[in-house]
Structure 1
Protein backbone atom coordinates (compact mmCIF):
# COMPACT_ATOMS: atom_id res chain seq x y z
CA UNK A 1 0.00 0.00 0.00
CA UNK A 2 1.44 3.37 -0.96
CA UNK A 3 1.40 5.62 2.09
CA UNK A 4 3.23 8.86 2.74
CA UNK A 5 3.22 7.95 6.43
CA UNK A 6 4.87 4.56 5.90
CA UNK A 7 7.47 3.55 8.46
CA UNK A 8 9.79 0.57 8.73
CA UNK A 9 9.44 -2.29 11.22
CA UNK A 10 12.41 -4.69 11.20
CA UNK A 11 13.41 -3.17 7.87
CA UNK A 12 10.02 -3.83 6.26
CA UNK A 13 7.90 -0.87 5.04
CA UNK A 14 4.81 -0.67 7.22
CA UNK A 15 1.86 1.70 6.97
CA UNK A 16 0.66 3.79 9.90
CA UNK A 17 -3.02 2.96 9.70
CA UNK A 18 -5.75 4.91 11.45
CA UNK A 19 -6.42 3.87 15.04
CA UNK A 20 -10.04 3.54 16.17
CA UNK A 21 -10.20 3.90 19.96
CA UNK A 22 -13.24 2.00 21.24
CA UNK A 23 -12.87 3.55 24.70
CA UNK A 24 -12.77 7.12 23.42
CA UNK A 25 -15.52 9.57 24.28
CA UNK A 26 -15.37 11.41 20.93
CA UNK A 27 -17.52 9.16 18.76
CA UNK A 28 -17.44 11.60 15.85
CA UNK A 29 -13.66 11.33 15.68
CA UNK A 30 -13.91 7.55 15.60
CA UNK A 31 -16.50 7.76 12.83
CA UNK A 32 -14.32 10.16 10.83
CA UNK A 33 -11.19 8.02 11.19
CA UNK A 34 -13.02 4.82 10.26
CA UNK A 35 -14.69 6.43 7.25
CA UNK A 36 -11.34 7.73 6.00
CA UNK A 37 -9.71 4.33 6.51
CA UNK A 38 -12.45 2.51 4.62
CA UNK A 39 -12.23 4.93 1.70
CA UNK A 40 -8.42 4.96 1.56
CA UNK A 41 -7.30 1.42 2.29
CA UNK A 42 -10.02 -0.64 3.97
CA UNK A 43 -7.76 -1.34 6.96
CA UNK A 44 -7.48 0.20 10.42
CA UNK A 45 -6.34 -0.66 13.93
CA UNK A 46 -8.83 -1.16 16.76
CA UNK A 47 -7.32 -0.12 20.10
CA UNK A 48 -8.64 -0.26 23.68
CA UNK A 49 -11.08 -2.92 22.54
CA UNK A 50 -11.61 -4.42 25.97
CA UNK A 51 -10.15 -7.87 25.31
CA UNK A 52 -7.56 -8.47 28.01
CA UNK A 53 -3.93 -9.00 27.09
CA UNK A 54 -3.84 -12.18 29.20
CA UNK A 55 -6.66 -13.69 27.15
CA UNK A 56 -5.04 -12.66 23.87
CA UNK A 57 -1.77 -14.29 24.88
CA UNK A 58 -3.55 -17.44 26.03
CA UNK A 59 -5.30 -17.75 22.65
CA UNK A 60 -1.94 -17.64 20.86
CA UNK A 61 -0.45 -20.16 23.29
CA UNK A 62 -3.38 -22.55 22.91
CA UNK A 63 -3.27 -22.11 19.15
CA UNK A 64 0.41 -23.06 19.01
CA UNK A 65 -0.31 -26.11 21.17
CA UNK A 66 -2.96 -27.33 18.77
CA UNK A 67 -0.92 -26.87 15.60
CA UNK A 68 2.01 -28.56 17.33
CA UNK A 69 0.03 -31.77 17.88
CA UNK A 70 0.92 -34.91 15.90
CA UNK A 71 -0.82 -35.06 12.54
CA UNK A 72 -2.74 -38.17 13.65
CA UNK A 73 -4.42 -36.14 16.41
CA UNK A 74 -5.18 -33.16 14.20
CA UNK A 75 -6.74 -35.37 11.53
CA UNK A 76 -9.39 -36.43 14.07
CA UNK A 77 -10.69 -32.84 13.89
CA UNK A 78 -10.80 -32.40 10.13
CA UNK A 79 -13.28 -29.74 9.04
CA UNK A 80 -16.90 -30.69 8.33
CA UNK A 81 -19.69 -29.36 6.12
CA UNK A 82 -20.49 -26.71 8.74
CA UNK A 83 -17.01 -25.23 8.30
CA UNK A 84 -15.93 -26.28 11.78
CA UNK A 85 -12.60 -27.91 12.52
CA UNK A 86 -9.18 -28.08 10.91
CA UNK A 87 -8.21 -27.08 7.39
CA UNK A 88 -4.96 -28.84 6.39
CA UNK A 89 -1.83 -27.37 4.86
CA UNK A 90 -2.34 -26.49 1.15
CA UNK A 91 -6.11 -27.06 1.51
CA UNK A 92 -7.20 -23.49 0.73
CA UNK A 93 -6.53 -21.74 -2.57
CA UNK A 94 -7.32 -18.03 -2.32
CA UNK A 95 -5.89 -16.89 -5.64
CA UNK A 96 -6.43 -19.74 -8.08
CA UNK A 97 -5.34 -17.66 -11.05
CA UNK A 98 -1.80 -17.26 -9.71
CA UNK A 99 -1.22 -20.07 -7.22
CA UNK A 100 0.23 -23.40 -8.31
CA UNK A 101 -0.90 -25.03 -5.07
CA UNK A 102 -2.78 -24.16 -1.90
CA UNK A 103 -1.80 -21.74 0.86
CA UNK A 104 1.10 -22.74 3.09
CA UNK A 105 -1.01 -22.51 6.21
CA UNK A 106 -3.20 -24.60 8.48
CA UNK A 107 -6.42 -23.31 9.95
CA UNK A 108 -8.97 -24.16 12.60
CA UNK A 109 -12.57 -22.92 12.53
CA UNK A 110 -15.02 -22.49 15.39
CA UNK A 111 -18.29 -20.60 15.54
CA UNK A 112 -21.21 -20.02 17.88
CA UNK A 113 -21.90 -23.29 19.70
CA UNK A 114 -25.36 -24.60 18.73
CA UNK A 115 -26.35 -28.07 20.04
CA UNK A 116 -27.08 -30.66 17.39
CA UNK A 117 -30.68 -31.09 18.59
CA UNK A 118 -31.38 -27.34 18.33
CA UNK A 119 -33.47 -26.42 15.22
CA UNK A 120 -30.96 -23.65 14.45
CA UNK A 121 -28.29 -26.30 13.97
CA UNK A 122 -29.88 -27.08 10.60
CA UNK A 123 -28.98 -23.65 9.26
CA UNK A 124 -25.81 -23.20 7.18
CA UNK A 125 -22.80 -22.24 9.35
CA UNK A 126 -24.62 -23.10 12.61
CA UNK A 127 -24.17 -26.19 14.73
CA UNK A 128 -21.86 -27.79 17.28
CA UNK A 129 -18.13 -27.12 17.11
CA UNK A 130 -15.38 -29.71 16.93
CA UNK A 131 -13.29 -29.50 20.10
CA UNK A 132 -9.95 -31.10 20.95
CA UNK A 133 -10.03 -33.53 23.85
CA UNK A 134 -9.63 -31.96 27.31
CA UNK A 135 -7.06 -34.64 28.07
CA UNK A 136 -4.91 -33.47 25.17
CA UNK A 137 -5.53 -29.70 25.34
CA UNK A 138 -6.96 -28.66 28.73
CA UNK A 139 -8.76 -25.28 28.83
CA UNK A 140 -8.64 -25.06 25.03
CA UNK A 141 -12.40 -24.93 24.57
CA UNK A 142 -12.95 -22.50 27.45
CA UNK A 143 -10.30 -20.15 26.11
CA UNK A 144 -11.68 -20.12 22.56
CA UNK A 145 -15.29 -19.69 23.65
CA UNK A 146 -14.37 -16.76 25.87
CA UNK A 147 -12.36 -15.12 23.11
CA UNK A 148 -15.15 -15.77 20.59
CA UNK A 149 -17.67 -14.02 22.83
CA UNK A 150 -15.48 -11.00 23.49
CA UNK A 151 -14.51 -10.66 19.82
CA UNK A 152 -18.23 -10.58 18.94
CA UNK A 153 -18.69 -7.67 21.36
CA UNK A 154 -15.85 -5.79 19.63
CA UNK A 155 -17.37 -6.48 16.21
CA UNK A 156 -20.72 -5.09 17.34
CA UNK A 157 -19.13 -1.86 18.56
CA UNK A 158 -17.22 -1.46 15.29
CA UNK A 159 -20.43 -2.17 13.34
CA UNK A 160 -22.14 0.71 15.16
CA UNK A 161 -19.33 3.07 14.15
CA UNK A 162 -19.63 1.85 10.55
CA UNK A 163 -23.38 2.52 10.69
CA UNK A 164 -22.79 6.09 11.82
CA UNK A 165 -20.19 6.57 9.06
CA UNK A 166 -22.92 5.56 6.58
CA UNK A 167 -25.36 8.09 8.12
CA UNK A 168 -27.49 5.28 9.55
CA UNK A 169 -28.83 4.79 13.04
CA UNK A 170 -26.13 3.42 15.34
CA UNK A 171 -28.11 0.22 15.95
CA UNK A 172 -28.89 -0.37 12.26
CA UNK A 173 -26.80 -3.56 12.01
CA UNK A 174 -28.20 -4.86 15.31
CA UNK A 175 -31.65 -5.32 13.77
CA UNK A 176 -32.81 -8.97 13.48
CA UNK A 177 -33.31 -8.66 9.72
CA UNK A 178 -29.78 -7.30 9.20
CA UNK A 179 -27.17 -8.81 11.54
CA UNK A 180 -29.28 -9.76 14.53
CA UNK A 181 -27.97 -13.31 14.38
CA UNK A 182 -24.41 -12.90 13.10
CA UNK A 183 -22.35 -15.77 11.73
CA UNK A 184 -19.14 -15.14 13.64
CA UNK A 185 -16.32 -17.50 12.71
CA UNK A 186 -13.15 -17.65 14.77
CA UNK A 187 -10.23 -18.81 12.63
CA UNK A 188 -6.89 -19.79 14.06
CA UNK A 189 -4.15 -19.69 11.42
CA UNK A 190 -0.69 -21.23 11.46
CA UNK A 191 1.82 -20.44 8.71
CA UNK A 192 4.57 -22.92 7.98
CA UNK A 193 7.29 -20.30 7.56
CA UNK A 194 7.94 -20.88 3.87
CA UNK A 195 8.72 -17.55 2.20
CA UNK A 196 6.18 -16.62 -0.45
CA UNK A 197 7.54 -16.57 -4.00
CA UNK A 198 4.91 -15.11 -6.36
CA UNK A 199 7.14 -15.84 -9.39
CA UNK A 200 6.68 -19.54 -8.59
CA UNK A 201 3.06 -19.28 -7.49
CA UNK A 202 3.93 -19.97 -3.84
CA UNK A 203 1.99 -18.03 -1.21
CA UNK A 204 1.47 -18.19 2.54
CA UNK A 205 -1.98 -16.81 1.71
CA UNK A 206 -2.94 -15.85 -1.81
CA UNK A 207 -4.26 -12.41 -2.67
CA UNK A 208 -7.95 -12.14 -1.80
CA UNK A 209 -10.79 -10.02 -0.49
CA UNK A 210 -12.66 -11.24 2.57
CA UNK A 211 -16.32 -12.10 2.03
CA UNK A 212 -17.76 -11.27 5.45
CA UNK A 213 -19.08 -8.00 6.83
CA UNK A 214 -15.90 -7.32 8.80
CA UNK A 215 -12.72 -9.17 9.71
CA UNK A 216 -10.95 -8.58 13.03
CA UNK A 217 -7.36 -9.77 12.77
CA UNK A 218 -5.36 -10.38 15.96
CA UNK A 219 -1.64 -10.67 15.24
CA UNK A 220 1.44 -11.54 17.21
CA UNK A 221 4.83 -9.84 16.95
CA UNK A 222 5.54 -11.26 13.48
CA UNK A 223 4.57 -8.78 10.71
CA UNK A 224 3.00 -10.40 7.70
CA UNK A 225 -0.15 -8.63 6.51
CA UNK A 226 0.32 -7.05 3.09
CA UNK A 227 -2.23 -4.48 1.93
Structure 2
Protein backbone atom coordinates (compact mmCIF):
# COMPACT_ATOMS: atom_id res chain seq x y z
CA UNK A 1 0.00 0.00 0.00
CA UNK A 2 1.41 3.43 -0.93
CA UNK A 3 1.95 6.18 1.62
CA UNK A 4 -0.81 8.19 -0.03
CA UNK A 5 -3.35 5.38 0.29
CA UNK A 6 -2.18 4.56 3.82
CA UNK A 7 -2.88 8.09 5.05
CA UNK A 8 -5.84 8.94 2.83
CA UNK A 9 -8.19 6.09 3.69
CA UNK A 10 -8.38 6.47 7.50
CA UNK A 11 -8.11 10.26 7.36
CA UNK A 12 -10.97 10.58 4.88
CA UNK A 13 -13.24 7.85 6.24
CA UNK A 14 -12.72 7.94 10.01
CA UNK A 15 -10.29 10.63 11.19
CA UNK A 16 -8.70 8.10 13.58
CA UNK A 17 -5.87 5.61 13.11
CA UNK A 18 -3.45 3.47 15.12
CA UNK A 19 0.21 4.45 15.03
CA UNK A 20 2.76 1.65 15.58
CA UNK A 21 6.52 1.42 14.99
CA UNK A 22 6.67 5.07 16.06
CA UNK A 23 10.06 4.83 17.77
CA UNK A 24 9.00 5.75 21.31
CA UNK A 25 10.23 3.23 23.87
CA UNK A 26 7.52 1.03 25.37
CA UNK A 27 9.22 1.35 28.77
CA UNK A 28 8.77 5.13 28.67
CA UNK A 29 5.12 4.76 27.70
CA UNK A 30 4.55 2.33 30.58
CA UNK A 31 6.29 4.71 33.03
CA UNK A 32 4.07 7.58 31.93
CA UNK A 33 0.91 5.55 32.56
CA UNK A 34 2.22 4.27 35.90
CA UNK A 35 3.04 7.81 37.09
CA UNK A 36 -0.37 9.00 35.92
CA UNK A 37 -2.13 6.32 37.96
CA UNK A 38 0.13 7.01 40.97
CA UNK A 39 -0.76 10.69 40.87
CA UNK A 40 -4.51 10.21 40.61
CA UNK A 41 -4.37 7.63 43.43
CA UNK A 42 -3.07 10.32 45.81
CA UNK A 43 -5.52 11.66 48.41
CA UNK A 44 -7.57 14.61 47.19
CA UNK A 45 -5.90 16.95 49.69
CA UNK A 46 -2.50 16.09 48.20
CA UNK A 47 -3.65 16.66 44.62
CA UNK A 48 -5.30 19.98 45.45
CA UNK A 49 -1.95 21.31 46.68
CA UNK A 50 -1.09 21.33 42.98
CA UNK A 51 -4.24 23.08 41.82
CA UNK A 52 -4.03 24.49 38.29
CA UNK A 53 -2.73 28.05 37.86
CA UNK A 54 -3.56 30.87 35.44
CA UNK A 55 -1.54 29.05 32.78
CA UNK A 56 -3.64 25.89 33.28
CA UNK A 57 -0.72 23.92 34.72
CA UNK A 58 -1.41 21.56 37.60
CA UNK A 59 -4.25 19.44 38.93
CA UNK A 60 -7.76 20.08 37.70
CA UNK A 61 -10.67 18.72 39.77
CA UNK A 62 -13.59 16.83 38.25
CA UNK A 63 -15.54 18.62 35.49
CA UNK A 64 -12.76 21.08 34.62
CA UNK A 65 -9.91 21.03 32.08
CA UNK A 66 -6.13 21.03 32.22
CA UNK A 67 -4.28 22.32 29.16
CA UNK A 68 -0.52 22.56 29.47
CA UNK A 69 1.91 20.76 31.77
CA UNK A 70 5.05 21.63 29.82
CA UNK A 71 6.40 24.11 32.36
CA UNK A 72 5.01 22.64 35.56
CA UNK A 73 7.44 23.00 38.45
CA UNK A 74 5.77 20.64 40.93
CA UNK A 75 7.25 17.24 41.66
CA UNK A 76 4.23 15.19 42.62
CA UNK A 77 6.01 11.85 42.84
CA UNK A 78 9.57 10.56 42.30
CA UNK A 79 10.56 10.83 38.66
CA UNK A 80 7.41 12.68 37.61
CA UNK A 81 9.01 15.72 35.95
CA UNK A 82 11.87 13.79 34.34
CA UNK A 83 9.65 11.12 32.81
CA UNK A 84 6.83 13.44 31.76
CA UNK A 85 9.16 15.97 30.13
CA UNK A 86 11.00 13.24 28.25
CA UNK A 87 7.70 11.81 27.01
CA UNK A 88 6.38 15.26 26.09
CA UNK A 89 9.32 16.08 23.85
CA UNK A 90 9.43 12.60 22.30
CA UNK A 91 5.80 12.89 21.25
CA UNK A 92 6.38 16.47 20.12
CA UNK A 93 8.99 15.20 17.64
CA UNK A 94 6.63 12.44 16.59
CA UNK A 95 3.90 14.99 15.93
CA UNK A 96 6.12 16.85 13.48
CA UNK A 97 6.93 13.59 11.68
CA UNK A 98 3.26 12.67 11.31
CA UNK A 99 2.41 16.19 10.14
CA UNK A 100 5.04 15.70 7.41
CA UNK A 101 3.43 12.41 6.37
CA UNK A 102 0.02 14.05 6.24
CA UNK A 103 1.46 16.78 4.04
CA UNK A 104 2.91 14.16 1.68
CA UNK A 105 -0.44 12.34 1.57
CA UNK A 106 -1.95 15.61 0.33
CA UNK A 107 0.78 15.87 -2.33
CA UNK A 108 2.40 18.80 -0.52
CA UNK A 109 5.98 19.38 0.54
CA UNK A 110 6.88 17.42 3.71
CA UNK A 111 7.60 20.69 5.53
CA UNK A 112 4.36 22.33 4.40
CA UNK A 113 2.79 22.54 7.87
CA UNK A 114 5.97 23.71 9.61
CA UNK A 115 5.22 27.35 8.85
CA UNK A 116 2.03 26.95 10.86
CA UNK A 117 4.00 26.01 13.99
CA UNK A 118 6.16 29.08 14.59
CA UNK A 119 4.35 29.72 17.88
CA UNK A 120 2.33 26.54 18.50
CA UNK A 121 0.53 25.56 21.67
CA UNK A 122 1.19 21.94 22.53
CA UNK A 123 -0.64 20.55 25.53
CA UNK A 124 -0.38 17.29 27.47
CA UNK A 125 -3.05 15.96 29.81
CA UNK A 126 -2.82 12.92 32.08
CA UNK A 127 -6.43 11.78 32.47
CA UNK A 128 -8.34 9.63 34.94
CA UNK A 129 -11.84 8.41 34.10
CA UNK A 130 -13.30 7.18 37.37
CA UNK A 131 -15.45 4.06 37.69
CA UNK A 132 -19.12 4.89 37.54
CA UNK A 133 -18.63 8.30 35.91
CA UNK A 134 -19.64 9.03 32.31
CA UNK A 135 -16.11 9.91 31.17
CA UNK A 136 -16.07 12.53 28.43
CA UNK A 137 -19.03 13.83 26.49
CA UNK A 138 -19.27 13.75 22.72
CA UNK A 139 -16.93 16.27 21.06
CA UNK A 140 -14.35 16.81 18.35
CA UNK A 141 -10.94 18.28 19.16
CA UNK A 142 -10.17 21.79 17.96
CA UNK A 143 -6.46 21.70 17.04
CA UNK A 144 -4.42 19.68 14.56
CA UNK A 145 -3.53 16.20 15.90
CA UNK A 146 -4.07 14.25 19.11
CA UNK A 147 -1.82 11.37 20.22
CA UNK A 148 -3.57 9.24 22.82
CA UNK A 149 -1.77 6.77 25.08
CA UNK A 150 -4.14 4.55 27.06
CA UNK A 151 -4.07 1.72 29.54
CA UNK A 152 -5.66 -1.64 28.75
CA UNK A 153 -9.20 -0.55 29.57
CA UNK A 154 -11.59 0.32 26.76
CA UNK A 155 -13.99 3.25 26.73
CA UNK A 156 -13.15 5.41 23.72
CA UNK A 157 -15.92 5.50 21.12
CA UNK A 158 -16.29 7.26 17.78
CA UNK A 159 -19.34 8.33 15.79
CA UNK A 160 -18.60 8.37 12.05
CA UNK A 161 -21.92 10.02 11.14
CA UNK A 162 -22.63 12.73 13.71
CA UNK A 163 -25.89 13.82 12.04
CA UNK A 164 -27.37 10.31 11.93
CA UNK A 165 -30.57 9.64 13.89
CA UNK A 166 -29.92 7.72 16.06
CA UNK A 167 -26.16 8.08 16.28
CA UNK A 168 -24.12 4.88 16.05
CA UNK A 169 -21.14 4.68 18.41
CA UNK A 170 -18.25 2.32 17.67
CA UNK A 171 -15.76 1.09 20.29
CA UNK A 172 -12.08 1.80 19.64
CA UNK A 173 -10.08 -1.18 20.88
CA UNK A 174 -6.84 -0.67 22.79
CA UNK A 175 -3.59 -1.89 21.21
CA UNK A 176 -0.51 -2.33 23.37
CA UNK A 177 2.32 -0.09 22.24
CA UNK A 178 0.20 1.87 19.74
CA UNK A 179 -0.92 5.46 19.84
CA UNK A 180 -4.47 6.27 18.87
CA UNK A 181 -4.19 9.34 16.64
CA UNK A 182 -7.15 11.49 15.79
CA UNK A 183 -7.42 14.42 13.43
CA UNK A 184 -8.78 17.67 14.78
CA UNK A 185 -11.03 20.47 13.56
CA UNK A 186 -8.24 22.69 12.29
CA UNK A 187 -6.91 19.99 9.94
CA UNK A 188 -10.42 19.32 8.63
CA UNK A 189 -10.77 23.00 7.79
CA UNK A 190 -7.29 23.24 6.24
CA UNK A 191 -8.18 20.34 3.91
CA UNK A 192 -11.60 21.79 3.05
CA UNK A 193 -13.30 18.82 4.68
CA UNK A 194 -11.29 16.14 2.87
CA UNK A 195 -9.85 14.86 6.16
CA UNK A 196 -12.24 14.33 9.05
CA UNK A 197 -12.39 15.50 12.62
CA UNK A 198 -14.65 12.82 14.04
CA UNK A 199 -17.05 13.06 16.96
CA UNK A 200 -15.85 10.92 19.89
CA UNK A 201 -16.46 10.32 23.57
CA UNK A 202 -15.27 8.22 26.51
CA UNK A 203 -17.67 5.90 28.33
CA UNK A 204 -16.34 4.14 31.41
CA UNK A 205 -17.31 0.50 31.70
CA UNK A 206 -17.16 -0.34 35.38
CA UNK A 207 -13.41 0.24 35.81
CA UNK A 208 -11.06 3.15 36.32
CA UNK A 209 -9.33 4.19 33.10
CA UNK A 210 -6.08 6.14 32.70
CA UNK A 211 -4.73 7.83 29.60
CA UNK A 212 -2.44 10.63 28.47
CA UNK A 213 -3.30 12.88 25.56
CA UNK A 214 -1.04 15.32 23.76
CA UNK A 215 -2.19 17.57 20.99
CA UNK A 216 -1.12 20.47 18.77
CA UNK A 217 -3.11 23.67 18.53
CA UNK A 218 -2.02 26.59 16.46
TM-score class, shorter: 0.5 to 0.7
Q: Does 1:36 align with 2:4?
A: no
Separation in 1, partners of 2:52, 2:19:
30
Matched with 1:222 is 153
Q: Does 1:187 align with 2:118?
A: no
Separation in 2, partners of 1:87, 1:130:
16
Identify which of 15, 20, 28 aligns with 1:55: 28
Unaligned runs of 5+ in 1: 1-27, 93-106, 114-128, 196-202
| 1:108/1:188 contact within 8 Å kept | no
Unaligned runs of 5+ in 2: 159-218
Deviation above 3 Å: which 4+ runs of structure 1?
A: none
Q: Report the RMSD for the aligned CA atoms in angstroms.
A: 1.8
Q: Name the SS of the counterpart of 1:63 in structure 2.
A: helix
Between Structure 1 and Structure 2, how many residues are aligned?
Answer: 158
More strand by share: 2
| 1:132/1:140 contact within 8 Å kept | yes
**TM-score, normalised by the number of residues in structure 2:** 0.68
**TM-score, normalised by the number of residues in structure 1:** 0.65
| Bigger Cα Rg | 1
How far residue 109 of structure 1 moved from its aligned partner, in angstroms, is 4.2
How far residue 182 of structure 1 moved from its aligned partner, in angstroms, is 2.6
Q: Name the SS of the counterpart of 1:186 in structure 2.
A: strand
Structure with the larger RCO, 1 or 2 (CA within 8 Å, 6+ apart):
2
Separation in 2, partners of 1:108, 1:159:
21
Matched with 1:131 is 74
Evaluate the alpha carbon distance shift between residue 225 and residue 185 of structure 1 in structure 2; reply closer, same or farther with a 3 A threshold. same
Query: Greater shift after overlay, 58-67 or 160-169?
Result: 160-169
